[in-house]
């Protein structure tokens, strides 16, 4: 029997009926807005090459996500901009000279093995754009080298010079030009001033919290300072390390990825410090000039462990118990 429902039909839903108004789409689009100044600066600095890489990376990332969703028969999630976000972050790590196949492979692997394979948005244990970066860096190291592929450029490559020619070779580079992005590196990650502006915007909008960026920067600065104390003639200053390569980009945009980072105040600070210290350790001892991506990936691996640092739950730990006789009863059946 079909009974006519009482009019008007009300919406029935679960509490709470109030919400702060935040959406995934809002978070993603505001992060994209925060990245926009750096993208523009990159195009100004590196010309159409940068634009080509950014556009291709974003397009491939979005397309790959759509195909993955199609293949796994999931609902299309392109309208939350998360694919675009990953694609843009990945493009920021590439040199402006990157060939099309490198961009395509990297953006596709960011999405496939960085994100979709783990179950899509929110399930990635590691920062997805860094997975794409690591894939490319290990597989096609020459093509990823921001210095050798950009020989036409007159800009300095501070981290490579520091690594291969020692501290003397970078002493002439002044901090202001570094801050304004006049250096070689990933096309977006070196736009320090623009990234700082975007980061402040995200902090004000409370999309990211201060703990990870601050701890990351403190970790970098203090470790660099310690090395400088050990031997001022061999190791660069903390300021140099902060203003070169992807330090600021990593601190504000990569290490703050929601899914792959811990949450509580102590875990986040430890996470940031750990990643920051690793950056300098890799820059000093590693074979890669810039240690930021690998430092963050390593710290990401510690996230499940760091998340175990928890306050005591309300009222203490409690387990719903069965009656004592159940044990014997269950053994029988």
Partner 1 sequence: MTTFNFSLLTGDTGPLVKGTEPDRLHIPIHAHTPILAAGDQVLAGTKIATANQPGEGDLHAPMSGVIKAITPDYMRIAVNGDERADATKPPADLGELKQWLREQGVNVGNLNQASRLIINAVPPEPGITIYDPLLRDYRKTIELGVETIQRIASTSKMNLVAAKGNRANAFANCTVMHVAPTYPNGLDQLVIKAVTKEEVLLGAHHKDAVLLSVRDLYFIGRVMETGRPVTETVMTIGTQNHLVRIGTPVGFLAGEAGATVQPGDRLILGGLMRGMAALNLEQGVNKDTTGLQLVRDDESIKATDSPCLGCGECERHCPARIMPGMLSRCSEFKFFERAEKFHIHSCIECGICSYWCTSQRPILHYIRLAKYELALLRTATSNLPTDTQEETGQQTGESE
| Contact status: 23 vs partner 1 (CB under 8 A) | yes
d(CA 32, CA 35): 5
71 binds partner 1 (CB under 8 A): no
Paired tokens of 212: 């990870």
Please state the closest distance from residue 160 (CB atom) to partner 1, in A. 35
Does 2 bind partner 1 (CB under 8 A)? Our answer is no
Quick check: 260 binds partner 1 (CB under 8 A)?
Answer: yes
Exactly one of 3, 8, 138, 151 binds partner 1 (CB under 8 A); that residue is: 8
Out of 13, 151, 229, 287, the only residue in the binding site for partner 1 (CB under 8 A) is 13
- In the chain, what's the furthest Cα-to-Cα distance? 89
- The verdict on 81 binding partner 1 (CB under 8 A) reads no
Angle, helices 292-301/128-139, rounded to nearest 10 degrees = 120
Burial 235-262 (b: 16+ CB within 10 A, else e): bbbbebbbbbbbbbbbbbbbbbbebbbb
x/- track of binding to partner 1 for residues 89-128 (CB under 8 A): ------------------------------xxxxx-----
Q: Does 4 bind partner 1 (CB under 8 A)?
A: no
Percent composition of the chain: helix, strand, coil (DSSP 3-state, to 5): 60, 0, 40
Site string (298-317) toward partner 1, x via CB under 8 A: ------------xxxxxxxx
* Shortest Å, Cβ 332 to partner 1: 8
Q: Which is nearer to partner 1, 212 or 248 (CB)?
A: 212
Residues 6+ apart with CB under 8 A from 79: 25
Asked if residue 139 binds partner 1 (CB under 8 A), the reply is: no
Task: For residues 141 and 123, give the distance between their C-alpha atoms in angstroms, rounded to a whole number.
Answer: 28
Among 2, 152, 320, 331, binds partner 1 (CB under 8 A): 320
**Using CB atoms within 10 A of its CB, is residue 322 exposed (0-12), middle (13-18) or buried (19+)?**
exposed
The H or E element spanning position 256 is: none
CA angle, 320 then 321 then 324, to 5°: 175
Q: How far is the CB of 209 from partner 1 (least distance, A)?
A: 8
> Does residue number 142 form part of the binding site for partner 1 (CB under 8 A)?
no
Measured from the Cβ of residue 124, the count of other Cβ atoms closer than 10 Å reads: 23
Identify the residue among 12, 71, 138, 287 touching partner 1 (CB under 8 A): 12
Distance CA 333, CA 317 (A): 30
Shortest distance, CB of residue 213 to partner 1, whole angstroms? Answer: 15
Pick between residue 104 and residue 256 the one whose CB is nearest to partner 1: 256
The nearest distance, CB 119 to partner 1, in angstroms, is 7
Shortest gap between Cβ of 312 and partner 1 (angstroms)?
A: 7
Task: Tell me the CB-side half-sphere exposure of residue 217, using CA atoms within 13 A.
Answer: 17
Residue 3 interacts with partner 1 (CB under 8 A): yes or no: no
In the window 228-257, what residues touch partner 1 (CB under 8 A)? none
Q: Which residues bind partner 1 (CB under 8 A)?
A: 5-24, 26-27, 80, 119-123, 258-264, 310-323, 325-326, 329-330, 333
């Amino acid at each position: 029997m079909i009974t006519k429902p009482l009019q008007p039909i009300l919406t029935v839903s679960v509490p709470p009926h109030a919400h702060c108004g935040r959406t995934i789409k809002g978070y993603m689009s505001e992060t994209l807005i925060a990245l926009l100044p750096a993208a523009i600066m990159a195009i100004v600095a590196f010309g159409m090459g940068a634009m080509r890489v950014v556009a291709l990376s974003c397009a491939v990332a979005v397309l790959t996500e759509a195909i993955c969703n199609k293949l796994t028969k999931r609902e299309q999630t392109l309208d939350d901009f998360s694919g675009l976000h990953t694609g843009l972050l990945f493009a920021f790590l590439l040199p402006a000279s990157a060939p099309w196949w490198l961009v395509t492979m990297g953006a596709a692997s960011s999405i496939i093995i960085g994100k979709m394979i783990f179950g899509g948005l929110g399930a990635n244990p590691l920062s997805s754009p860094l997975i794409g970066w690591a894939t490319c860096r290990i597989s096609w190291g020459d093509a990823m080298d921001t210095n050798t592929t950009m020989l036409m450029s007159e800009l300095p490559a501070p981290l490579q010079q520091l690594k291969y020619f020692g501290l003397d070779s970078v002493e002439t580079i002044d901090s202001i030009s570094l801050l304004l992005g006049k250096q070689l590196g990933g096309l977006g990650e070196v736009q320090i001033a623009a990234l700082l502006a975007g980061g402040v915007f995200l902090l004000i909008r409370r999309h990211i919290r201060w703990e990870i960026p601050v701890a990351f920067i403190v970790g970098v600065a203090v470790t660099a300072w310690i090395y400088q104390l050990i031997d001022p003639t061999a190791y660069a200053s903390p300021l140099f390390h902060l203003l070169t390569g992807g330090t600021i980009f990593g601190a504000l945009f990569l290490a703050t990825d929601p899914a792959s980072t811990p949450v509580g105040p102590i875990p986040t600070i430890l996470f940031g410090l750990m990643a920051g210290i690793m950056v300098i350790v890799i820059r000093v001892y590693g074979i890669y000039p810039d240690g930021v991506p690998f430092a963050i990936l390593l710290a990401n691996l510690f996230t499940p462990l760091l998340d175990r640092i928890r306050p005591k739950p309300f009222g203490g730990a409690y387990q719903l118990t069965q009656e004592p006789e159940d044990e014997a009863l269950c053994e029988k059946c």
